[in-house]
Structures are given as C-alpha cells and as structure tokens.
Homo-oligomer: A and B are copies of this chain.
Amino acid sequence: MVRVGVIGYGYWGPNLVRNFFETPGAQVVRVSDKRLDRLKQVQARYPTIRVSEGHRELLQDPEVDAVAIATPVCTHFELAMQAIAAGKHVLVEKPMASTAAEATKLIEAAEAAGRTLMVDHTFVYTGAVRKVRQLVDDGSLGDIYYYDSARVNLGLFQHDVNVLWDLAVHDLSIMDYVLPYRPVAVSATGVNHVSGGKENIAFLTLFFDSPVIAHMHVNWLAPVKIRRTLIGASRKMIVYDDMEQSEKIKVYDKGITVNQQVNREKLYEIMVGYRMGDMTAPQLDISEALRVEASHFVECIEKKQRPITDGEAGLRVVSVLEAASQSMRMRGHPVELPPARRG
C-alpha cells in the first residue's frame, strides 16, 4: 500500500485525489493547500483524508510515502526537492520545473535518494496516445516524416508561464513518448496581446538529424477548441483528434511513392505517385488516463521500476520549452538543443 499526500487542491489536485482514492494499492492520506475553502471541500467529500494549510506538515508526516505536487510551475522544483529530501517518492505536475538546470538537479537528487521521480505527462497514459506509440513501434507507419499538432482554445491565461509552457508541454510530452527520435534544434515564434503578460499564441518547429520535422501550434485566444495532431509517414498516416468523442485515432493507408527515372530529354526526373487506401479508426482503451497513470506510479514505487514518464522525459520536455522561449524572443532564430544525457 502506497500512502499518498497531495500538495495543491486547485484545478488538477481534485483529479489526483479522486484517482489515487480509487486506485487499488494506493491510499490518499493527506492534502495540503494554502486556501482554507479548498481544504473544506476536501473534508466535505473525503472525511477520512487529513488536511493542512502548509505543505511542511504533509512532508514531515511519516505516514506519507509519496507526494503528488499540483501547484504552480514556479514552485515545482522547490517542493519536489523538499519532498525527496524528506524521503518521499514524487509525482510532479508538468512541466517538471522552470529550467533544464532545475530538472537535472531533481533527477540527480531522486537518484541519490533512491526515490521514484515521475512527471505527470497525463496524455501519455491515454488509450489514444498508447495506440499511436504502438503503431509507430510495430512499423505500421513506416518512416516518420512529420509530427504536427495544434492545441488552441479560449483558455485560461496563465500569469507565470507563456502558452508554450502551458499547452505545448502536452504535445512535447506526447511526441517525446511516441517518436523514436530526439530533436536537435528549435525555432519558435509568438506574441503576447495583453500588456504585461506572457506570449499567448506561439508556433514551434523542431528539427531532427533527419528530414523529420515537428511543429506545434498553441493559442489561448482562439474562438474554438482544436486538439489535433497529424503524423505523416511513408506507409500510413495518422490523424489524432482529441475532440472526437470516439474515433480519436484515424489511420490512413495513404501516401506517396517516389520513383526516379530518366525522361525523354535524358534527364533524371522524380515521379511522385499517390496511394489512396482505406482509413481505419481502431477501437481504443477508454480507461481514464490518470487512473492508469496512478497505478503505474504505485507499481513503479513498489517494484522499483523506472516510470515511462520519468525525470529524463520531464527534462527533455523542459529543455525544448526553455530553448523555444529563447528562440521566440529572437523572432524564430534557431536555437540548438543540448544533447540528451541518455534515453
């Protein structure tokens, strides 16, 4: 039995509490939040859970084995370091930290302490994303050509981070999981329309050591909600539309065939042919992603396994976000990414 404490009961915290509450092998024993009204909500719904205003009581509680951190981004590093220092396993909200340097320190601290460190890249645990990963892994798609996502909405303007850190973080974590390649450079553009605010619309291109390209498109100020990813490849192509109620994944047996031939004028000519086949929408596992993720966290702690979304995955995502923000300030000037330490 893993006894879980949750720090932060704002937007996401209630989902963490509910899912750990119903996960076999886990028990939610404590919640902390600075806001008294939030704690009252916890008590009304879960009279068995202890609450406290400060996170310190929670971290010092010997009955807490693992901590889930669902607070603003700028506090992730400090809280996660304290939790590791207190001997707790840690599940931290995405993005894992505010800088790659912080993320690296967290990884090192968790390794030194022998604690499980996992990042809450929730989408990785959806049936849809796991199906995409499977189609990439089993060769159904062939060679990957591009990864292209849009995630726009009339969304909550964040105060402490720009739209890349709030929305592109989802796409970066999904791409990190499904693609077998690591990006080497990034070019990003974006602007802010609120005086004194952060960029609320942004576009990000990732370059790889191959003709693969990735692009992400995020926006807090759109009149409609779009969450769509296209994956182009040599054998099949995918449209992943998260706004579809069912049929979130469509696999198209479409593409091009390339032939080179010598034409009448004795010149090399590239002939592009087009394949047009069936589309299939595979049946997906519809388990709630956070439930799957909570079980995985529990299992990793108990079996001392490395989580799918471990600290390294979190670091890779934060590294791109950091470089992209830098590129964005230079109107798209490309920025090299540090070589991944491993993975």
Interchain CB contact under 8 A, B224 and A239: yes
Query: Chain B residues near A222 (CB, 8 Å)?
Result: 230, 232, 237
Known A187-B331, A230-B222, A278-B281: A211·B192 in contact at CB below 8 Å: yes
- A252 interface hit (Cβ, 8 Å): yes
Of the candidate stretches A9-17, A82-90, A253-261, the one touching chain B is A253-261
Contact status A331-B185, CB under 8 Å? yes
A343 within 8 A of B: no
Q: Does A194 contact B (CB under 8 A)?
A: yes
Choose, from A26-34, A195-203, A315-323, the stretch at the interface. A195-203
Docked-complex contact A282 and B274, CB < 8 angstroms:
no
CA distance A223 to B274 in the complex (A): 11
Of the candidates B225, B246, B276, B332, which one forms a contact with A327 in the assembled complex, judged by CB atoms under 8 Å apart? Answer: B332
Cα–Cα distance between A115 and B190 once the two chains are bound (Å): 42
Q: B194 to A254, Cβ gap below 8 A?
A: no
- On whether A283 and B278 interact (CB within 8 A), knowing A224-B252, A268-B196, A331-B187, the answer reads yes
Q: Which residues of chain B come closer than 8 Å to A211, judged between CB atoms? A: 191-193
Given contacts A152-B230, A333-B333, contact A205 B189 (CB under 8 A): yes
Count class of interface residues, chain A: 35 or more
A55 within 8 A of B: no
| Contact status B282-A278, CB under 8 Å | yes
- Is A280 at the interface (CB under 8 A from chain B)? yes
Question: Are B203 and A215 in touch, CB under 8 angstroms?
Answer: yes
Query: A254 touching B213 by the CB < 8 A rule?
Result: no
Residues 329-343 of A contacting B (Cβ, < 8 Å): 330-334
- Kindly identify which residue among B154, B189, B253 contacts A187, using a CB–CB cutoff of 8 Å: B189
**A334 to chain B: closest residue by CB:** B331
A36 within 8 A of B: no
Question: Cα distance A219–B277 when bound, in Å?
Answer: 19
Chain B residues with Cβ below 8 Å from A207 are 189, 331
Establish whether residues B280 and A279, one from each chain, have CB atoms under 8 Å apart when the complex forms: yes
Task: Flag A232-262 by CB within 8 Å of B: 1 or 0 each.
Answer: 1000011100010111001011111010100
Q: How far is the CA of A239 from the CA of B219 in the complex (A)?
A: 14
A279 near B281: Cβ-Cβ < 8 Å: yes
Decide if A159 is an interface residue (CB 8 Å cutoff). yes
B159 and A270 form a contact (CB under 8 A): yes
A-B contact pairs, 5 of them (CB 8 A): A146-B191, A146-B193, A191-B213, A196-B260, A223-B252
Interface residue ranges, A against B (CB under 8 Å): 45, 47-48, 145-146, 148, 150, 152, 154, 157, 159, 185, 187, 189-197, 201, 203, 205, 207, 211-213, 215, 217, 219, 221-225, 230, 232, 237-239, 243, 245-247, 250, 252-256, 258, 260, 268, 270, 272, 274, 276-283, 327, 330-334
